[in-house]
Amino acid sequence: MRAVVYDRYGPPDVLRLEDVDRPVPKEDEVLVKVHATTVNRLDVHTREANRRSGLAVSLLSRMVSGLRRPRQRILGSEFAGEVEAVGAAVSEFAVGDQLFGNSGLRFGAHAEFMCMRESARLAHMPASLSFEEAAPITDGGLNALTCLKQADLRQGRTILIYGASGAIGTAGVQLARYFEADVTAVCSTKNLDLVKSLGADRVIDYTQEDFTRNGETYEVIFDAVGKLSFPRCRASLKPAGVYLPTDGFGNLMRALWPSRSGDKKVVFQIPPRQTKQDVLFLKGLVEAGKFRPVIDRRYPLEDVVEATRYVETEQKTGNVVLTVP
């Protein structure tokens, strides 16, 4: 089968198309014929061993993915496709079923075929979506859900979502809306209309207004794009307010060892737990018309380097899809 592989950590052009052996499903696995996948920030960070996040994070990343070189040569975590074959013990899926899911750090989706355990983050595709629409449900969706679950979102609870136009941000706005929170979203001018259409009650253009200086306060601040810090947001949090980061070594440390001064805190699930139930929850929201992944650009699999360069601009709106012919 054809797959995008890489043998060393580095810039996007370490990625190349190669013919590799098609994986064989184990007893409890399905073999998925991948029709669509994505390039997301997890692919980007893993491919460059998180070098932009400093030495400690880069070392941690290499300990997970392979110290000298990547153990898993094929990136890609999100996918939508069809069941090509099933292991003997598989009961939930049958050959020909259409499904979508997320392999997380096991990756493998930038290929014509991949194997997934049936108990993993895998579900039948919502009937209303194409493969290209279903592939990007889970990255932003699961990351946003994992964070928002920590904040007891409910009717009227006030939340500010920073970076509301990215993969996690666009999912976060829709989920916060679903939980009936009062949503203030922050993005740049070009994304104001989109973010409003996703359900934000109000949108702040960060090129015009600094939310940390306008005197407003929130019960929850969700930094969906990893550009803020707890100290910068502290004054914009109400008493006992919660800061939800998606990134940052400092945030991780603050979540593990909360400051003893004051009752505002950083909350970050460590390690993040994302389950099959979460995927089914997102599927239910899609079917109920409450959630739709935002797609910016689509590229064929062979243009993975170009797609990756675009993702690395940090300017994508929502998600970038790869179609697998």
Ligand X SMILES: NC(=O)c1ccc[n+]([C@@H]2O[C@H](COP(=O)([O-])OP(=O)(O)OC[C@H]3O[C@@H](n4cnc5c(N)ncnc54)[C@H](OP(=O)(O)O)[C@@H]3O)[C@@H](O)[C@H]2O)c1
**Residues making contact with ligand X (CB under 6 A):** 40-42, 139-140, 143, 163, 165-169, 187-188, 191, 206, 224-227, 246-247, 314-317
Best CA proximity match to 135, nearest among 4, 283, 19, 36: 36
Shortest Å, Cβ 18 to ligand X? 24
Shortest Å, Cβ 50 to ligand X? 9
| 200: its two tokens | 């934000």
Q: What angle do CA 280, 124, 110 make, to 5 degrees?
A: 100
Residue 203 near residue 196 (C-beta atoms within 8 A): yes
Shortest Å, Cβ 92 to ligand X? 25
CB nearer to ligand X: pick between 25 and 136: 136
Shortest Å, Cβ 128 to ligand X? 24
Shortest Å, Cβ 183 to ligand X? 16
CB nearer to ligand X: pick between 164 and 242: 164
CB nearer to ligand X: pick between 31 and 144: 144
Best CA proximity match to 104, nearest among 34, 145, 179, 46: 46
CB nearer to ligand X: pick between 163 and 241: 163
| 40: its two tokens | 């997301």
CB nearer to ligand X: pick between 61 and 165: 165
CA distance 42 to 19: 24
CB nearer to ligand X: pick between 90 and 145: 145
> Which class for 143: exposed (0-12), middle (13-18), buried (19 or more C-beta within 10 A)?
buried
Shortest Å, Cβ 34 to ligand X? 18
Shortest Å, Cβ 165 to ligand X? 4
- Residues paired with 117 in a beta bridge: 29
- Give the 3-state secondary structure of residue 18: strand
CB nearer to ligand X: pick between 93 and 310: 310
Show the beta-strand stretches assigned E in the chain.
Answer: 2-5, 16-19, 29-39, 78-86, 98-102, 113-117, 122-124, 158-162, 182-187, 202-205, 218-223, 237-244, 265-266, 295-300, 319-323
Give me the helix-helix angle, 138-148 and 167-178, nearest 10°.
50
Instruction: Give how far Cα 197 sits from Cα of 86, 186, 209, 305, 313, Å.
Output: 40, 13, 20, 31, 24
